[in-house]
Structure 1
């Protein structure tokens, strides 16, 4: 059990660091006003990676369960940012950006579902 906790924690540290670096880079490179583009990009990329890696792990290569935990639960669990997504949506609503909040919620849901599907399809 401690080995599993350790690999999830290590993967989580890497995923959180990757999320931080991407968020910093996008925030400094692109200005979309109040729209939380960095979180949107991270969530879509994380969903795509999850779908792709799930197919690699389940159909292409036998992967050790410890490594699978580290990548899917640890890295991607920390990389994607649903809690940030929820908070940013509430902030948009609180500041009166109702259309942007609506667009963000539905755009994220559609893009993330599509990205997961695409990741699964690419390696069929």
Structure 2
């Protein structure tokens, strides 16, 4: 691996550190707001806000050429990849099913799909409106 490629990998890794830290902090804040709920609100909140953010960034890149390839990788792959929690969503859904909470599992699946798609769309719309 060349030195320049190694530098890119390290920057994406640093972005992952930032995203994971944000996920931990925001997830903890959401969980503290609803401590007695069995429903995984913190994962849902992180995934939806991550989808909103990726929608904004993608719109800016596509319509304004914002960010170079390196910055895009750091933000999208590193920060947002470390921030969003699709694997946690899958695990929590399986745990709900295992525990016989079929309705909660179905609600978790539906909420993630509906809110995530809406958040990406809203993120793109917000970026379009703000940065025309």
TM-score for the superposition, normalised by structure 2:
0.88
Matches within 5 A, 1:1-124: 1-31=5-35, 33-124=37-128
Q: Distance in 2 between matches of 1:100 and 1:68?
A: 36
Contiguous gaps of at least 5 residues in structure 2: none
Q: Calculate the aligned-residue CA RMSD, in Å.
A: 1.3
Structure with greater Cα Rg: 2
Q: Distance in 2 between matches of 1:31 and 1:115?
A: 25
TM-score for the superposition, normalised by structure 1:
0.94
Contiguous gaps of at least 5 residues in structure 1: none
Q: Distance in 2 between matches of 1:32 and 1:40?
A: 16
